[in-house]
Amino acid sequence: MTTILGLSGSLRRASYNSGLLRAARDAAPEGVQIVIGSIAEVPLYDGDAEAASGTPPAVKRLTDQLADADGLLLATPEYNNGIPGVFKNAIDWMSRGEGLKLFKGKPVAVMGASPGNFGTTLAQTHWLQVLRTLNTLPWHEGRLMVSRAGDLFDQGGNLTDDKTRQRLADFIGGFAATLR
């Protein structure tokens, strides 16, 4: 079984990116499971707190999930033309100490949904410098940017558009194929 850790960079209950990640889990090909992790309980990084208390439990859960995964899938919103702070903060925490070794050589795919016209293009590009610094293997063979997400998701943040669902299935299938 190929395992992919999926992380959404949004904390919103009806997030388009969390919905995109759930749809990716449902679209995963046979023999592939997408485990959805949560950044919701990850505190803001504070070196003093880390020195006093160690790694927070939410971060430990994520690093354990990353250690067990063959690949990492990031569903990124785009805030002010870049990576959401809460998402970057979670990755920063996960890469502390021994966690850094978990990223080295890890295949990573990035996708995103946005209510705007450009579908997280800039945030996805912004992730490349972070992924390079972490020595990951960014997957460049596919790219999924979902524009005008308000027309493609319902009130609960669930993907309802069949055309986008097929694009997502192709994207996940392509990424999964490189992990086998």
Q: Which CATH number characterizes residue 102's domain?
A: 3.40.50.360
Distance of alpha carbon 31 from alpha carbon 16, whole angstroms: 26
- Higher confidence at residue 15 or residue 180? 15
Q: pTM to 2 decimals?
A: 0.97
The yes-or-no verdict on residue 29 having pLDDT over 90 is: yes
Residue 1, pLDDT score = 96
pLDDT digits (tens, 9 = 90+) for 110-165: 999 999 998 899 999 999 999 999 999 999 998 899 999 999 999 999 999 999 99
Number of domains within the chain = 1
Q: What crossing angle do the helices spanning 57-68 and 85-94 adopt, rounded to 10°?
A: 70
Q: What is the mean pLDDT of the chain?
A: 97
Kindly indicate the confidence band of residue 180, based on its pLDDT and cuts at 50, 70 and 90: confident
**Side-chain half-sphere exposure of 164, counting CA atoms within 13 A:** 26
Write the CA distances from 157 to 10, 15, 77, 154, 175, integer angstroms: 11, 5, 13, 5, 23
Write the CA distances from 99 to 55, 60, 67, 96, 109, integer angstroms: 10, 9, 9, 5, 19
What range does the domain containing 50 cover? 2-179
